[in-house]
Structures are given as structure tokens and as C-alpha cells.
Amino acid sequence: MMLLLGFLLVVLIKPYYRNDRIRTIDVISETIETLLLKEDVKNREIESAARTIIGNNVCAIIYNENGKAIYNPPDSLGQLCMLDKQISIEEEIFTIKNEPKKMIEMIKKENPLSVTIYSQYTGMEMLLYGKQIRSNLSNYYLVLNTPLEPVESYIDFILNQYLYIAVIVVFIALIVALFLARQITSPIVKMKDEANKLAQGNYDAKFETNSFSEINDLASTLDDATEKLSKVNDLRKDLVANVSHDIKTPLTMIKAYAEMIKDISGDDPVKRNEHLDVILQETEYLDKLVTDMSELSKLQSGVLQIKRENFDLKECTEQVVLLLSQAIREKNIDLVLDLDECVVYADEIKISQVIYNFLSNALKYSDNDSKITIRIRNSEEDVKVEVIDNGNGISEEALPYIWDRYYKVDKNFNRSVNSTGLGLAIAKAILEAHKAKYGVTSKLGEGSTFWFELDRDYETEN
Ligand code: ATP
Ligand code: MG
């Protein structure tokens, strides 16, 4: 930029100066004309006014009709002024100050007169300008002279100044560029290092922010990504661990029983059926496990969106009870339904799944002939659903973990009851997707109460 600027300066300084001179001469001539055209203007006044108008680098004479100079100051141009030197115009060689009449003749012939003459004294082109000014009283002749090229020293001065400025500007630009580059590159270099860590599976990578908003955005996006990757990684790790554990056991059973049928019980229909039943049970378990796992992972990854609508919660609960009625009958459970009429704004299928999970747990962990109560309370603010049992209860130590995936209080619990340990984790994911409050109170040996609260129907909400 500085080079371009310097080049333009050198190339343009002369034409620019020339134009500027021509314009100055025009302005001076017009101003003097209006001055002379004023009525009863005195020669004295003309002189002092002209002195202020005619500035540097211009020399001037004003003649009256008789060729008498009414303005003829010591020249501001000094030695450069051509008015008192011999010049040649149109093959005439003369000195204007000595032969004003000749000049006046020329102006009369061509008004305004504007000629470029070459000064052998300075080696520069000069502009000679003459104009006749006709006033009511008399005629005046204005003669102006100015160099059309800047003086060498003037150009040197400008270029020198330019050089100083250029050096300073380039120096400052260098410092600023260095500073900016460092500001931008150093966080990016750090980010690269952290990203390398991440690539090697180190999820402690932390992306620093700095004062550039784009870099900040990038850093926080990468931090987000790290967090998500780390979560996915955790999920993957314990999924692999759990799945291999949970799937391996039933598979071993299936394999063992299948071998048994093949080798031993194949011909004994009673034994064979017994063994086939075990295989069927295990397959059912595997089926439930896989269904639950995919349901949970869909819920947790947000692939499965909840679809809220108004529905009758009482009716929904009764449907769930119907689904489990056989188990209720088998265990001879005294089921008490204490259900308020109410409409809630939620995902019906998902909520019935939660109630199903709560109720099936209550059934699973209650003794035969015990009592289970389902209660729905429709209050001013919201609707509370409670499933109360008098079963095993849960110890205080286990209580915080029951909502975790694969968590089972009794690790050796008979697997044939189809317990994957995912039921409450699914319920939790559903309730959290609804932003619902939920919880459990339980005492070992006395029973448990699982509950959640839902928004009232959409109409009343708004
Ligand atoms: P799944 O529901 O997937 O068939 P699960 O019932 O074992 O398996 P969850 O429903 O997640 O799994 O429950 C986790 C654990 O919490 C259970 O294994 C059980 O130990 C305990 N639990 C849940 N509900 C009750 C209850 N009503 N009474 C006593 N313990 C319970
Ligand atoms: Mg359960």
C-alpha cells in the first residue's frame, strides 16, 4: 500500500500541481474582476485588496487603459517572476514591464490570454495569463504569472516526508500484524494440541477461549463436542460391559439347554419340553432386553421426541391395570384404585409406559396377597400419580441408584421374572423429557411409593 501510494505521489504530483495552479489563477482573476467592477473603487483599495488575494507563487500586474500599472508590487514569486524578464510570445520578444502596451494589444486580441512559456532562467514551464476587465469607467488589464511545475525543493520535501511516514507506518503495521497473528495463531495452536489429545481418546481436553469471538465460538463448540463424545464413550463402555454380561448369561443357558436336548432329553418329551421352556424364557428375556435397550438409548439420545396432547389420565391408568390384570390375579393382589378424574397434557403412550413400569415393579417386588394402591390426585397446580405397595421396600443405600440403567437391588434375583434393570431408567428418561417431578419413598420391609407429577391439561394451563 505504501509503495503504491509513493508511486502515485511521484507520478501525480506534477499534473496535480499544474491543475491546482490553473485553478488558482482562475480564482484570482475572477476575484480581482469583481473587485474592479465595483463602482468608485480607489487605486489604493485595489492594491491592498489584490495583495491579500494574490497569494504565493503568483506574480501580478494590473494596468489601466493607458498602460499605467495601478498594481505592481514587489513580486511574491521573486526571481521566478517572468513579468520583468524578456519573453517571447508569438514571435515577439519583449519585456512586459517595459512594454505594457504590447501586452495590452495581445490581450485585446485574445481575451483571456493564456500561454505557456518556457523560462530559461529556471528551466520550468510558466503560465502567463492576461485578461481585459471592462468596467463602466475604464478598462483594466490583469496580467498573472505562475510556474506550472512545483519547485524541485518542494517535491523533495514532500517525498522526504512521505519516506518518514512510510517507515513509521510499515513499522507500526508490522507490530500490529505480529500481535494479531500471535493472538489468532496461539489459541489455534493450543486448540490443535487439545484436539490431538481428544483424538487419542483423552476426554480431559479443554479448549480455551480468548478475545476473538469466532475463536470463542469454535472453542465452545469443540468443548461441547468433547463433552458429548465423552458421554457417548461412557455410554458405549458400560453398554458393552452390561450387554456382554446380560446377553452372555441367557445365551449360555440357551446353548446349554439346546445341547441337553440334543444329547439327553431329545427322546423324552417331558424333559424336552421342560428344557425347551427354559430356552423360550431366555429368548423372551433377550427380546425384552434388546427392546428396552433400544428404547432407552433412543430416549436418551433425543431421537424419540415426546408428543404432548390432552388425554384422560384415569382412563390411561385403567388400561395399564388391564394389561397387568393377569399377574395381579395370579398373585392375588388387592389392588385399590383411587383415581381422580383428570386430563393432562403429556405423551399418552410414554406416560402409560411409566405407570406400567411402576405397577409391574410393585407387583414384582410384593408378596402374594399384599395390597397395592394407585392414586391420582388432581390439585390446583398439577396432577400427582402414586403407586404404593407393601412389598420388599428398598434400602436407603440402594435408593439413589434404582433409576440407573441395569441397576438391580438384588443382583442374584431370579432372572426368569424378566428383570433387565432398565424399567426405571426408561421411566426416568420419559419423565425428564416431560420436565416432570418424580421420586420414590421407600422403607426396607415396609413397602415403596413411586410417584410423579404432570402438567394439567393445555387448556387450563393457558
Ligand atoms: P425391568 O423393569 O427392566 O424388568 P427391574 O424391575 O429389575 O427390571 P427397574 O424397574 O429399573 O428394574 O428397577 C430397578 C430396581 O429397583 C429393581 O431391580 C428393584 O431392585 C428396585 N425396585 C424397583 N421398584 C421396586 C419396588 N416397588 N419395590 C422394591 N424394589 C423395587
Ligand atoms: Mg421394573
Kind and range of the H or E run holding 185: helix 152-199
The enclosing domain of 139 has a CATH number of 3.30.450
Give yes or no: residues 287 and 369 share one domain. Answer: no
Alpha carbon of 399 to ligand 2 centroid (Å): 14
Q: In 341-403, at which residue ranges do the beta strands (DSSP E only) sit?
A: 343-346, 371-378, 382-389
What is the CA 334 to chain-centroid distance, rounded? 61
197-231, pLDDT tens digit by residue?
888 888 888 887 777 788 888 888 888 888 888 87
CA distance 425 to 407: 9
- The mean pLDDT of 431-444, rounded to a whole number, is 93
Band of pLDDT at residue 416, cut at 50, 70 and 90:
very low
pLDDT tens per residue across span 363-414 = 999 999 999 999 999 988 889 999 999 998 999 988 888 998 777 777 655 4
State the distance between the two ends of the chain, measured CA to CA, in whole angstroms.
64
Is the CB of 408 within 6 Å of ligand 1?
Answer: yes
The preferred substitution site among 424, 440, 443, 448 for testing ligand 1, maximizing ligand atoms within 8 Å of CB, is 424
Distance CA 361, CA 371 (A): 13
**Residues surrounding ion ligand 2 at CB below 5 Å:** 361, 423
If you write DSSP's letter for every residue of 126-158 in order, what string do you get? EEEEEEEEE-SS-EEEEEEEEESS--HHHHHHH
Residue 266: domain span = 153-304
Confidence grade of residue 51 (pLDDT, cut at 50, 70, 90): confident
Residue closest via CA to ligand 1's atom 15 equals 408
Q: What would you report as the CA-atom Rg of the chain, rounded to the nearest whole angstrom?
A: 52
Distance CA 108, CA 371 (A): 131
Cα(254) to ligand 2 centroid in Å equals 24
Q: Are residues 231 and 326 in the same domain?
A: no
- 261-287 tens-digit pLDDT: 999 887 888 989 999 998 998 898 888
Q: Give the tens place of pLDDT for each residue, 295-332.
A: 887 887 766 778 899 999 999 999 999 999 999 999 99
Residue 447 near ligand 1, beta carbon < 6 Å = no
Instruction: Check whether 418 has a pLDDT greater than 70.
Output: no
Cell of 409: 437391588
369 or 421, greater pLDDT: 369
Looking at the structure, tell me whether residues 427 and 298 fall in a common domain.
no
> Which residue minimizes the CA distance to atom 5 of ligand 1?
421
For residues 208 and 320, membership in a common domain is answered with no
Contact 365, 389 (CB under 8 A): yes
In a domain, 396, yes or no: yes
Q: Which of 150, 166, 189 is the last residue of a domain?
A: 150
Mutate-to-test residue for ligand 1 from 295, 402, 406, 413, highest number of ligand atoms within 8 A of CB: 402
| Residue 119 in domain | yes
CA 395 to centroid of ligand 2, rounded, Å:
16
Whether the CB of 194 sits within 6 Å of ligand 1: no
Query: Is the domain of 157 the same as that of 138?
Result: no
Amino acid at 46: I
On whether residue 32 sits in a domain, the answer given is yes
Asked if 337 and 443 sit in the same domain, the reply is: yes
What span, in angstroms and rounded, lies between the C-alpha atoms of 149 and 301? 80
Which residues, 6+ apart, have CB-to-CB distance to 247 below 8 Å? 286, 289
Query: Which residues does residue 452 pair with via DSSP β-bridges, in sequence order?
Result: 385, 438
Please tell me the distance between residue 290's alpha carbon and the centre of ligand 1 in angstroms: 17
362 lines ligand 1 (CB under 6 A): yes
CB 222 within 8 A of CB 188: no
Are 76 and 168 in a shared domain?
Answer: no
User: Which three-class secondary structure state does DSSP give residue 98?
Assistant: coil
Q: Is 399 in the pocket of ligand 1 (CB under 6 A)?
A: no
Angle at 183 between CA 179 and CA 188, to 5 degrees: 145
Residue 9 and residue 141 in one domain: yes
Quickly list H helices, 38-121.
Answer: 43-53, 100-109
Q: What is the best residue among 295, 299, 357, 364 to mutate for testing ligand 1's pocket, by most ligand atoms within 8 Å of CB? A: 364
Give dist(CA 379, CA 373) in Å, integer. 19
Q: How many angstroms is it from 455 CA to the middle of ligand 2?
A: 24
Contact 341, 314 (CB under 8 A): yes
460 falls within a domain: no
pLDDT of residue 329: 94
Please tell me the distance between residue 450's alpha carbon and the centre of ligand 1 in angstroms. Answer: 11
Is 58 a pocket residue for ligand 1 (Cβ < 6 Å)?
Answer: no
Residue 83 lies in a domain: yes
Of 106, 132, 150, which residue sits at a domain end? 150
Residue 407: CB within 6 Å of ligand 1? yes
Number of domains in the chain: 3
Which atom of ligand 1 lies at the shortest distance from residue 417's CA?
Answer: 4
CA distance 316 to 359: 13
Q: Does 421 contact ligand 1 (Cβ within 6 A)? A: yes
62 assigned to some structural domain: yes
Annotate 1-29 with DSSP letters as a single string.
-HHHHHHHHHHHHHHHHHHHHHHHHHHHH
Sign of CA pseudo-dihedral 92, 94, 96, 98? negative
**461 domain-assigned:** no
> Nearest bound ligand to CA 449?
1
Of 289, 358, 419, best ligand 1 pocket probe by most atoms within 8 Å of the beta carbon: 419
For ligand 1, atom 2, name the residue with the nearest CA.
423
Do residues 18 and 137 share a domain?
Answer: yes
Cell output for 122: 529556471
Q: Which ligand is nearest to the CA of 448?
A: 1
Residue 417's identity, in one-letter code, is: V
pLDDT at residue 461 tops 60: no
- Residue pair 25/127 in contact by the 8 Å Cβ criterion: yes
Average pLDDT over residues 60-87: 83
d(CA 120, CA 105): 25
Q: Are residues 117 and 178 in the same domain?
A: no
Q: Is the pLDDT of residue 118 over 80?
A: yes
Q: Is the CB of 132 under 6 A from ligand 1?
A: no
Instruction: Mention every residue, 6+ apart, whose C-beta is less than 8 A from residue 384.
Output: 375, 376, 377, 451, 452, 453
The answer to whether residues 376 and 338 touch, using CB atoms and an 8 Å cutoff, is: yes
Q: What percent of the chain has pLDDT over 70?
A: 95
For the chain, give the number of residues. 462
Q: Evaluate: CB of 418 within 6 angstroms of ligand 1.
A: yes
Question: What spacing in Å lies between the alpha carbon of 426 and ligand 1's midpoint?
Answer: 11
CB distance 128 to 89 below 8 Å: yes
Q: Given 304, 332, 350, which residue is the final one in a domain?
A: 304
At 249-264, the pLDDT tens digits run 888 889 999 999 999 8
Q: How many helices (H) and strands (E) does the chain have?
A: 11, 14
For ligand 1, the distance from its centroid to the CA atom of residue 454, given in whole angstroms, is: 22
Q: Confirm whether 134 is domain-assigned.
A: yes
> Is the domain of 344 the same as that of 413?
yes
Q: What are phi and psi of 34, to 5 degrees?
A: -60, -35
Which residue owns the Cα nearest ligand 1 atom 25? 361
Looking at residue 181, its amino acid is A
392 lines ligand 1 (CB under 6 A): yes
- For 129, other C-beta atoms within 10 Å of its C-beta total 21
Model pTM above 0.75: no
Q: Do 166 and 296 belong together in one domain?
A: yes
pLDDT at 114 over 70: yes
Other C-beta atoms closer than 10 Å to the C-beta of 45 total 12
Torsion 227-230-235-238 (CA) sign: negative
pLDDT, tens only, 164-196: 999 999 999 999 999 988 888 888 888 899 899
